[in-house]
Amino acid sequence: MPVTTLSFDEQYRALCARDARFDGQFIAGVHSTGIYCRPSCPAVAPKPRNVRFYRTAAAAHEAGLRACKRCQPDAVPGSPDWNLSDDLASRAMRLIGDGVVEREGVSGLAARLGYTSRHLTRVLSAELGAGPLALARAHRAQAARTLLSATALSVSDVAFAAGFSSIRQFNDTIQAVYETTPSQLRTLARRGGSAHPHLGNERPSTLTLKLPTRAPFDGPGLMTFFAHHAVDGIETATESSLERALRLPGGVATVRLQLIDQGIVCTAQLATISDVAPLVSRVRRLFDLDADSHAIDRALASDPALAASVARVPGMRLPGSVDTEETLFRTLIGQQISVAAARTVHARVARELGSDGLFPTAAQIVVSGRDVLRGPRTRVESILAVADALATGELNLDVATPVNEFTAKLVALPGIGPWTAGYMAMRVLGNPDTMLSSDLVVRQGAGELGLPTTASALTQYASRWAPWRSYACMHLWRSLPAQVERKPTSP
């Protein structure tokens, strides 16, 4: 159940039960002590009259509360509301988590969302209890706590890596939020077990972070997906790890992502230390780490047709994306062919057009794509038209774009239909409620489970799975034998 629909009594019961399923979904502010906690905090539950619940840590900060040193309420997965909802506040939080305020300021954040700074501040204050500056400040504090606990970076390097503009601002924020100094916070956080056990051997320029995950988490399923779709030359993947280069705002980074103890450990070599926030944000989206698996599984298992699949694969996640352009071109180039054939074509395109171990950008495809892309002329022209629209800025596929606008922009381009737009919404936006009813493999999977197999009938039946139709789609996709070798196939 989304936190926005929970009543005070429901949130208070979760707090009294120390229910870890709600960690990261809301903050419990205890005004008699002046602290805020995660729902699973082991402290004695406060009296109801002393508690207020907040959607964000920033709102708790604005109310004059500091973070609990015992439960470390920011060392948890993020709220699934930011993907489940498509309102202005949720879209703003996606960009704030990616470090847009630090790079472009509040005015840049507002411009990306298509509103004035004043209106954005008013909406966020009303819905989340804090404006964009306060939300970004809380995000910086959380990033700093993670870096202090999980790296050997100096305190000054941590300050700038987390997005602070000065050491003084950093020290003041840490003191206000945690009521301690950065050095003391590092000691406290490591004592809490959030540091990775091998960090002592890491060079200062290499970061290793363990990313919080909300259980249950089908990490093996995601790693298998990435392994079977890995492109030679830009990705090295196994059923437990993924290694590749990423484009980040400050330059190209190389990352190794490992599945350890049902969590993700990220080891990265960054071009600039200020890329930590966007790196973490994109890796979390790639593995759908903030999904509320309990709510999703409970809803889907209520349908007898899906109950066995949910029991077999609890914590199903959506494979995400770390580069919108790359995901779009790999989708367009690989349509209508097998996974193995698509990997071969993608590797050739990357080898002939790409650079720095990365898939080619839209600009690179515009310049040389006609000489490299093969297939029907109309298909090649469609890909080149998409590349030109992206390269010129005519097409902007930001993660904060409303899903209806996102899909409408795509289908307006020649050669892109509803299937491609829906698949991109699932992969790039993490949209939880997309149903690819026209997909051949999805319809075959539906047939295996005794469900309707025509697109129209399956669409009608799938309405009972809202707002989790994307996850139901994944269950249908994987219900076939040797499902890991298959991929969604555009009609």
Q: How many degrees, rounded to 5, is the angle at CA 320 between CA 319 and CA 322?
A: 140
Distance CA 135, CA 96 (A): 8
According to DSSP, residue 430 is labeled -
- Of the residues 86, 275, 288, 439, only one is catalytic, namely 439
C-alpha dihedral sign at 122, 124, 129, 135: negative
For 484, the token pair is: 């890991």
Number of neighbours of residue 460 by Cβ within 10 angstroms? 12
- Cα separation, 406 vs 399, whole angstroms: 9
Among the listed residues 23, 37, 275, 323, the single catalytic one is: 37
Amino acid at 374: R
Contact criterion met (CB below 8 Å) for 449 and 479: yes
Q: Are strands 251-260 and 241-248 parallel, antiparallel or unpaired?
A: antiparallel
Radius of gyration of the chain from its Cα atoms, rounded to whole angstroms: 22
Question: Among residues 76, 24, 33, which one has the least CA distance to residue 54?
Answer: 24
Q: Are 469 and 434 in contact (CB under 8 A)?
A: yes
Other C-beta atoms closer than 10 Å to the C-beta of 346 total: 24
Tokens 């694969």, residue located = 313
Q: Is there a catalytic annotation at residue 37? A: yes
Q: How many residues does the chain have?
A: 491
Coil/strand/helix, residue 115: coil
Catalytic (active-site) positions = 37, 439
